[in-house]
Amino acid sequence: MEWIIEGDRPIWLQLYEQLTLRIIAGIYPMGGRIPPVRELAAEAGVNPNTMQRALAYLEDQGLATSNRTAGRLVTEDRELLDAIRLQLAKERIQAYLQGMKVLGYTEEEAKALLLKEE
């Protein structure tokens, strides 16, 4: 998965979202180790302090825990991960419906079209 930093929103927030996505996608599996700050920062081409802030927020949200010996680990709270996954899915569905509305489809037509899609 590529790191994408765009536009005008705070960089740390975008990094947080993409870290979350990586956890949901299983790139950093439950209970697994998240790479160290400097490594992640170099990979994403961002300032280490910015990456640090994103990781701190990840911990605030309960998605990761700091461990003195093992580094930073992904949470093992399956319920929390499922809830976030559902939340992200809903956002994508809303974006789809919004996009279809711009093209002139009603919500019903948009849903029907989606069901017909292979």
Partner 1 sequence: MEDNLIVCTDLSKRFGVQKALDCVNLTIGRGRIVGLLGPNGSGKTTWIKLLCGLLQPTGGSVTIDGEAPGVHTKSVISYLPDRMYFADWMVAGDLLDYFEDFYKDFDRQRAEKMCEALGIRAKDRIKSMSKGTKEKLQLVVVMSRQAQLYLLDEPIAGVDPAARDYILGTILTNYNPQGTVVISTHLIADVEKILDEVVFLKEGQIVCHDAVDHLREATGKSVDALFREIFRTAPYGGDFTGGENTWEG
Residues 6+ apart with CB under 8 A from 40: 34, 51, 55
Q: Assign 81 to helix, strand or coil.
A: helix
**CA atoms within a 13 Å half-sphere pointing along the CA-CB vector of 54:** 25
Examine residue 66 and tell whether it contacts partner 1 (CB under 8 A).
Answer: no
Rule CB under 8 A: is residue 41 a binding residue for partner 1? yes
Q: How many helices (H) and strands (E) does the chain have?
A: 5, 3
- Compute the least distance from the CB of residue 110 to partner 1, in Å: 30
Name which of 11 and 73 has its Cβ closer to partner 1. Answer: 11
Q: Does 8 bind partner 1 (CB under 8 A)?
A: yes
Q: Is residue 11 at the binding interface for partner 1, with CB under 8 A as the rule? A: yes
Q: Verify binding: residue 49, partner 1, rule CB under 8 A.
A: yes
- Gap between the Cα atoms of 68 and 83, Å rounded: 28
Q: Which of 53, 55, 74, 81 binds partner 1 (CB under 8 A)?
A: 53
* 8 versus 117: smaller Cβ distance to partner 1: 8
Rounded-to-integer distance, Cα 15 and Cα 21, Å: 10
By the criterion CB under 8 A, which residues form the site for partner 1? 5, 7-12, 38, 41-42, 44-50, 53
